[in-house]
Amino acid sequence: MPNPLATPWGMRHALVVWPPFLFAGIKVLDISEDWSSARVRMRLGKLNRNTFGTQFGGSLYSMTDPFWTLLALRQLGADYHVWDKAAEIEYVTPGRGPVYAEFTLTEDRVTEIREATAGGAKTLPWFRTEVTAADGTVVARVRKQLYVRRKPDRR
């Protein structure tokens, strides 16, 4: 039986019920069939509200955490190691309702990573995501750095 997590549909449905997302009100709205993009929403609720009644900062980061690694790993394939290396978040304005994040890993960026790792070297690319309110207001800016290295040939 094929691994359901190997398909965008299966991964999206698994993440919908994954406890850190489920209890924080985070829902994966879409993962593209070619693994080049993803869209996520987080509603404001009792379990992700801070003492000021706005989106909890940890939940804002959580909603963005796995996606750059996931997209890069799936697009690069099994011949690559892809791990999280570093991250930072800038809180811009309080999230007072549902917030959204979109991730797009372009073919050009994938090619850039492949070229940087072709000789066996690691690369440490940075990616940016904005978490926005429904009206487009920026709530937070997230930067994520990945560690990517081509796996050695096992001949």
132: enclosing H helix or E strand: strand 126-133
Task: Note the pLDDT of residue 155.
Answer: 54
Task: Note the pLDDT of residue 152.
Answer: 86
DSSP state letters, 9-42: HHHHHHHHHSHHHHTTTEEEEEE-TTSSEEEEEE
Task: Note the pLDDT of residue 1.
Answer: 58
| Cα–Cα distance measured from residue 38 to residue 79, given in angstroms and rounded to the nearest whole number | 22
Pairing of strands 99-104, 126-133: antiparallel
Task: Note the pLDDT of residue 108.
Answer: 97
- Chunked mean pLDDT (size 10), the chain, 155 residues: 78 91 94 97 92 93 96 95 97 96 98 95 97 97 98 74
| Cα–Cα distance measured from residue 45 to residue 34, given in angstroms and rounded to the nearest whole number | 32
Q: Which amino acid is at 134?
A: A
Cβ-based neighbour number of residue 43 at 10 Å: 13
Task: Note the pLDDT of residue 142.
Answer: 98
Contact in structure between 124 and 85 (CB atoms under 8 Å): yes
Task: Note the pLDDT of residue 71.
Answer: 97
